[in-house]
Amino acid sequence: MSALFEPFTLRSLTIPNRVWMAPMCQYSADVSGPDTGVANDWHFSHYTSRAAGGTGLILVEATAVSPEGRISPADLGIWNDTQTEAFRRITSFLKGQGTVPGIQIAHAGRKASTDRPWRGGAPVGPGEHGWQPVAPSPLPFNDGHPVPDELTTGQIAEIVGQFADAARRARAAGFEVVEVHGAHGYLIGEFLSPHTNHRTDAYGGSYENRTRFALEVVDAVRAVWPGELPVFFRISATDWLTENAEDDRTGWTADDTVRFAADLLAHGVDLLDVSSGGNAPRVRIPTGPGYQVPFAERVRTGTGLPVAAVGEITEARQAEKIVEDGQADAVLLGRELLRNPYFARHAARELGGEVGSPQQYHRAA
């Protein structure tokens, strides 16, 4: 059997194959009124089409734990009952197709309150349904971005509670995997990196202090998430600062990621979703096919924590080799699944694997 189409079990949950959908924001929720942050027909169509295409696990896009935690006013949220109920329609359909439904819960930190990317992605203010961002330290993300408010220790504790509440709601909505978003320069990643965390209290300075908030979030989520179901964590393996010889800024590194992966494993995380970048603007990243896979492999080899690899994975045989060679336990596809919702079905045909087929499509099975 193709390695890419072998089932994968974490705790009591078995995922039917190793072709997974990465969380990708759609910026398509209502921005005001009672349906703010609520999944709608666009989200239903977007996710269910990939399930019909044979994708083994679908991670729903970064879903905010609070209104202030959204990247944009048009982001999804999971801080109220209306949002929770809307997700049930999606999770029910996904499970009906044999796909495992997962969700990424997130807080955008200093990168919050921005416009949709196809409208430029610039910061938006209260007149455009925006708000004042918060962060570990009062450092703007980029030129033209507002200086975020520095979080107090009381506010940090409140956000930890919001992550726990979001995980509880996610389970009520029917999700079977919850992923904590610690990547791409959003709030948790901002605490991790010395580039964005200039605090002098218990949440800043040393490695132990900078990782404190992330581990508190993980512990809070793990405490309310069923013990038989897995918790994922998404991380930027590097800020790409120390890898740029001309850049003297200090950031989070690949060595930090391996060290932190061991901590996450000890705190009950079941899989690390390994990405990179996003915490610093104007950084040169040497992209190319599979360019982030070595980071995932380092974690898997160094800690034994299962990993999923991302980053310009576009071909069936490329994905097969990543799993077959033990570089990662699964691949998370992003742009390729936007281009081709039926990637898994096509890859199975090419590699001799098997995926379930909707009964309505039996003629083409």
If you write DSSP's letter for every residue of 31-86 in order, what string do you get? Answer: SSSTTBT---HHHHHHHHHHHHTT-SEEEEEEEESSGGG-SSTTS-B-SSHHHHHH
Average pLDDT of 65-71? Answer: 98
In a domain, residue 365? The reply is no
Q: What DSSP designation does 151 have?
A: P
Residue 23: band (very low, low, confident or very high) from pLDDT cuts 50, 70, 90 = very high
In a domain, residue 363? The reply is no
Range of the structural domain that residue 191 is part of: 3-356
pTM to 2 decimal places: 0.97
pLDDT digits (tens, 9 = 90+) for 345-362: 999 999 999 998 888 988
**354 and 348 Cβ atoms separated by less than 8 Å:** yes
| Residues recorded for the chain | 365
In a domain, residue 362? The reply is no
- Predicted confidence at residue 233, as pLDDT, reads 99
Residues with active-site annotation: 186
Q: Both tokens of residue 353?
A: 């694997």
- Percent of the chain topping pLDDT 90: 94
The whole-angstrom separation of Cα 42 and Cα 1 is 35
Q: Both tokens of residue 275?
A: 């990405």
Residue 245: is its pLDDT beyond 60? Answer: no
pLDDT digits (tens, 9 = 90+) for 95-122: 999 999 999 999 999 999 999 999 999 9
The whole-angstrom separation of Cα 95 and Cα 138 is 43
Mean pLDDT estimate for the chain: 96
Query: Residue 201: which CATH number?
Result: 3.20.20.70
In a domain, residue 364? The reply is no
Domain count, the chain: 1
- Predicted confidence at residue 161, as pLDDT, reads 98
Backbone angles phi, psi at 292, to 5 degrees: -100, -5
- Percent of the chain topping pLDDT 70: 98
Residue 247: band (very low, low, confident or very high) from pLDDT cuts 50, 70, 90 = low
Residue 68: is its pLDDT beyond 90? Answer: yes
In a domain, residue 248? The reply is yes
In a domain, residue 194? The reply is yes
In a domain, residue 343? The reply is yes
In a domain, residue 361? The reply is no
